[in-house]
Amino acid sequence: MARPDVAEPGLCLGAVVADGRNHRDGAMPGAEHDQAAIRAAVRAAAAVRPLAGGETPDLVEAAALRIADLLESMRSPDRAVLLADVLQKLAAPGSSLRKLEKKVRQAALATVSAERMAAVRALAPELLIEDLQGTVRFSRREPRQVGVAGRSYRTAVVVRLVGGALERAFLTRPPAAFVPEVRAALAAELAAALAESDAAAGRIDELVAARAHRPLYDAASLRRIVDRALLDAAELPEALEQIEYQVRRLDRDAAERERVRELIERHGLIAYREYFPRARERQRELILYVGPTNSGKTWHALNELVRHESGVYLAPLRLLALEGQEEIAKRGRIASFITGEERDIREGADFIASTIEMLDPRREVEAAVIDEIQLLTDPERGWAWCQALVGVPARRVLMTGSPDCIPLVQALAQYLGEPLSIRHLERFTPLHAHPRRLSLAHIEPGTAVIAFSRREVLAYKAELEHRYPVAVIYGQLTPEVRRGEARRTSGKAARRCW
């Protein structure tokens, strides 16, 4: 890579390294370290460098010239020791040019960045220059007033450029020459960012307009989401991202309402409610308890049920119906128990606990509890929950379910023309994943062990029953055995295998 204008590599390199050593010993560098000498020394060191894998003479010389530019930007006392190190590593085989250039650039930033920042700011006060401890960031902020979704909002477009050729120019070129270059680079970025901001505003307009004509869409909540995002987000693309994420819930809710409306209109369900005249005569009140598991939904509903003189508890499973009978009895009321396979009719009972399919729409009661109302959407059994909600002849209809059933229940309440109140509940105790896998030998009393085959259930029972009473419940057990096993689960020491 030798060039006619490069000094003798050995002499130049030896002289500069020797002077670097003298500087480490305390001597100040002489006039030979002016800019021309630095450039010549760096190029000489690069000229004798053995080429490593992937290196070419042109690549090495270009890196050497960038390093020389950075060294020239530094003050003499700061660069003397660094120069000696640079010359040694440039000539050494296997040293990384990229890491060496980064080291010199960071040293230059540490020594001259504050002074150069002040000079650039004086010439271009609209620019923001930040030292990020190892690189420099150049920014420009453009305030603007935009019209979005029929309203005017104050926002801003911010563009940033970090490091690279612009950083090298900042460190090596005079401020007066650098300012036009950085202004042009940021102006190009700003033009692209303004176009992106206008596109985001147009997308928000389209998003709002596409939903405005839907009569079952929650337009008020949509407006709140848009306002909050445009006020909180720093830029319009960020606001658009927030809005698109948050409207998903509104979209799901509206789609559920629209689906119910379509079913009603397409299949003539507008007359379905009239098949239950006794329910229509009761002027019913609908109450929905929603929350996660272990939030007391059924507990609250049963407490409300027994405050009335008569009622019915409608459960999805036989065991839950049996538990409902027992819970009603604990609250001082007598309840009969009815499923498709068994009947326990109690004398003087004003309450019934049954599976939901056993509802008698002709028997009028003061209150009814419909458990797990979200099963309205079940493709095989959902008809029973629909029949119960539309047709139970009770003055108060108490429902329990997960929060995702709210839109469907609201749509049905609107269809029935009956008032609906929603009561939100939280878990009694937090739910945490265990940090590690547990063996059966380490589970605590009262644990429910859930398996997915009868063989696994019986295997767990055999392993646990040597130490604890174990209750076992699975699908093929007869109702009598299930009831007996269910009672055993109330024992504090029992393990449950389901």
* Measured CA angle at 106 (ends 101, 109), to 5 deg: 125
318 against 268, higher pLDDT: 318
* Measured CA angle at 497 (ends 495, 498), to 5 deg: 140
pLDDT, tens digit, 9 for 90 and up, residues 320-353: 999 999 999 999 999 999 998 889 999 999 999 9
pLDDT at 331: 94
Give the pLDDT mean for 179-185. Answer: 90
From the number of C-beta atoms within 10 Å of its C-beta (0-12, 13-18, 19+), residue 145 rates as: exposed
Highest mean pLDDT of the ranges 132-136, 218-222, 367-371, 461-465:
367-371
- Tell me how far apart the alpha carbons of residues 158 and 143 are, in angstroms, rounded to a whole number: 9
- Tell me how far apart the alpha carbons of residues 36 and 69 are, in angstroms, rounded to a whole number: 11
Give the CA count within 13 Å in the CB-facing half-sphere of 89.
18
Quick check: 61 and 90 in contact, CB under 8 A?
no
Strand partners, 145: 154
370 against 168, higher pLDDT: 370
| Distance of alpha carbon 349 from the chain centroid | 51
- Phi and psi at residue 135, to the nearest 5°: -160, 170
- Give me the amino acid identity at 492: K
Quick check: 295 and 426 in contact, CB under 8 A?
yes
User: Which among 355, 369, 385, 334 has a CA at the least distance from the CA of 479?
Assistant: 355
Share of the chain above pLDDT 90, in %: 30
CATH fold for domain 440-497: Rossmann fold (3.40.50)
For strands 136-148 and 151-162, give the pairing.
Answer: antiparallel
pLDDT, tens digit, 9 for 90 and up, residues 295-324: 999 999 999 999 999 999 999 998 899 999
- Phi and psi at residue 87, to the nearest 5°: -65, -40
10-34 burial by CB neighbour count: b if 16+ within 10 A, else e? Answer: eebbebbbebbeebeeeeebeeebe
Quick check: 418 and 284 in contact, CB under 8 A?
yes
- Tell me how far apart the alpha carbons of residues 152 and 445 are, in angstroms, rounded to a whole number: 62
From the number of C-beta atoms within 10 Å of its C-beta (0-12, 13-18, 19+), residue 278 rates as: middle
pLDDT at 491: 53
pLDDT, tens digit, 9 for 90 and up, residues 436-465: 787 777 777 778 888 888 888 888 888 888
392 pLDDT more than 50: yes
Judged by phi (left if over 0) then psi (alpha if -120 to 50, else beta), residue 247 lies in alpha
Domains 278-424 and 440-497 equal at CATH topology level: yes
Quick check: 303 and 297 in contact, CB under 8 A?
no
Containing 148, the helix (H) or strand (E) segment is strand 136-148
Instruction: Tell me, yes or no, if the pTM score tops 0.85.
Output: no
* Measured CA angle at 438 (ends 434, 439), to 5 deg: 165
Quick check: 317 and 498 in contact, CB under 8 A?
no
Least confident range of 131-140, 243-252, 389-398, 487-496: 487-496
pLDDT at 141: 87
Alpha helices (runs of H) in 213-296, residue ranges in sequence order:
219-232, 236-266, 277-281
- Phi and psi at residue 81, to the nearest 5°: -65, -40
Q: Per-domain residue ranges for the chain?
A: 9-111, 124-267, 278-424, 440-497
DSSP letters along 464-477, please?
HTTTS-EEE--TTS
pLDDT, tens digit, 9 for 90 and up, residues 72-81: 777 666 666 6
* Measured CA angle at 316 (ends 315, 317), to 5 deg: 95
Tokens of 408: 């469907």
Give the CA radius of gyration of the chain.
39
- Give me the amino acid identity at 446: G
pLDDT, tens digit, 9 for 90 and up, residues 354-376: 999 999 999 999 999 999 999 99
CATH fold for domain 278-424: Rossmann fold (3.40.50)
